[in-house]
Structure 1
Amino acid sequence: MRRLLDYLNDLTLRAYVKLQVLAATEPVRLRSVLTSAALALAFFIPSLAQPDVTEHLVSFGAVALPILVGESARKKVTPLDGE
């Protein structure tokens, strides 16, 4: 049993690190995947199809992603003024 728990812990940590790398290198792609996942869930769970709920989920992802992965991701998706 301990071996299985260690394997699941290792698998979880690897997935978390891969998600962090993806978020840092491809923030726009990750944001679109999260938006698509929220809309797909709305198809299967009708209560998520409310415009208010979907808007909050997408807004949270758009704000939380740069905060979670740092300034480098924000710089990649924020247009520069005058350049």
Structure 2
Amino acid sequence: MRKALMNIFLTYLQIVALRARAKLQAFAAQEPVRLRAALTSAALALAVVFPAIDAGTAETIGAVGVVALPILVGESARRKVTPVE
């Protein structure tokens, strides 16, 4: 009985994780600028909470996010944030 409940709970956690991943991917594709800002803010917040993470490390994490996110999300995201002439 206990093992069956644990399996049900683990299956539920896997489903929740898959749904969260799908929503994050959709959000990254639709709002890449907001996602980059959120990731940078999270890195800076970690620098405040954990002083061992200095501002340079937080800036590096933000810079990697700025560069890597458009590559990971794809060309459609780049078109959304590129200014139109």
Q: TM-score, normalised by structure 1?
A: 0.87
Task: Choose between structure 1 and 2 for higher RCO, CA contacts under 8 A separated by at least 6 residues.
Answer: 1
CA distance in 2, matches of 1:79, 1:59: 20
Instruction: State yes or no: 1:49 paired with 2:54.
Output: yes
Unpaired stretches in structure 1, ≥5 consecutive residues = none
- CA-to-aligned-CA distance 1:26-75 (integer Å, 9 cap, x gap): 11111111111001000111121242x12210111011111221111111
Give the counterpart of 1:65 among 63, 66, 69: 69
Amino acid corresponding to residue 32 of structure 1 in structure 2: A
Amino acid corresponding to residue 66 of structure 1 in structure 2: P
Pairwise CA distance, 1:19: 0.4
**Over 2 Å off, 4+ runs:** none
Pairwise CA distance, 1:78: 2.5
- Higher Cα Rg, which structure: 2
Q: What percent of counterpart residues are identical? A: 59
Partner of 1:77: 81
The two structures, once aligned, show a CA RMSD in angstroms of: 1.2
Number of equivalences: 80
